Structure 1
């Protein structure tokens, strides 16, 4: 999103320059009409001068009125450095997303940033496994149809929940390093429970991905030869038959080969 304050002052400057320009134009055309009209009397050229002068005066007046109305409005508040940086980052991300490979690059950058944030935590290993399984499922998602179609939505919700759980594990682990000795036992028990939940959840997600792959394998296995291979074999036989027919036709139309066949040794 563009900076509203900068856009406000840019528009104010454009209106001020336009009002001054039309004021100068109206003054010049009005003075020329006032000086030239008495010398030649009223005619078609004088009407043109007067019309141009009048139009310039009206446009200059409109520009000054617009400038006055805009200047009466309070300017948008100035952004803090954090807000300006956030808006600049949002503009850059929007530009990258419009590129053909932009969404994939942004997704990979987010994954790498999250992996770096969890580096050194017990949640880092399950996170990497979850990333690998999620990428595998994403490659199969477009072909999971019919009874397997709701699985994609369920997997997306599970992925979001497990990633949130991984962040909680990392947060509790950081707090565990700062906890005093008397309160560390209870927090360590909660941390172990969260890690166990994360490990079980990632294992269940991996099992889901394996089951989805098995479903695709069974769905695309018709039994026997693949239909594409059958069609290719039929097309190959057809071309062989056409080639043999053309060879026989050429042999019949060749008089040398015909005479050799007719009067050859018996």
Structure 2
């Protein structure tokens, strides 16, 4: 346990979170008081997404999940074929004009049997070049955040609202989100995750079909889709790089995700 706490403290330090430790237990990290909430702008309208939102629960409490529908065992040849078919559809997609300016479609990465799904906004320049989400500086921070709660990108699944990079990394347009939305819904259907984490305002607002600022969406559990999958919104790693003071609040969100995963395992 002491070794795990020491590694977690190291990851928190690499994330740039100032920590202090009790003199009686130097291996256990603790965080300083939180800063003021993020001020965010409200978009002109909520963007498209297939969701079902229930009464939020505090982030520290895992909301009860309904009985899962019976599906083919994960990892079968049929499921692998479904994933590959979907990936090829994304790579060859021409449903919106972004296919003319992108280098390639960015499908997703991670375990196709993961219990945790992380949804971001859209590929950036490096992601567009390499064909994998979250591989730049923001991706390095996301990796550190996952390691801090005992996970990595091989044990979770990571994707974006958009599968193509918007020019100059601008916000996705409603028609672009609508064009990509069937791909994301199919990914979620195939994965059937136990939890979803929406990183950043764009991902959270689109998944929850709301224009509420991220500062009001985080810190509580929401529900997504017909399976009413528990969803937690948190800050995008790129935002945290620009606003390191909010890493403390992101750490609180990560701990809520870890508790929820542990609850789901023991249930």
- TM-score tier, shorter chain, comes to under 0.3
Question: Which structure is higher in strand share?
Answer: 2
Tell which has more relative contact order, 1 or 2 (C-alpha 8 A, sep 6+). Answer: 2
**TM-score, normalising length: structure 2:** 0.20
Question: Which structure is higher in helix share?
Answer: 1
**TM-score, normalising length: structure 1:** 0.20
Bigger CA radius of gyration: 1
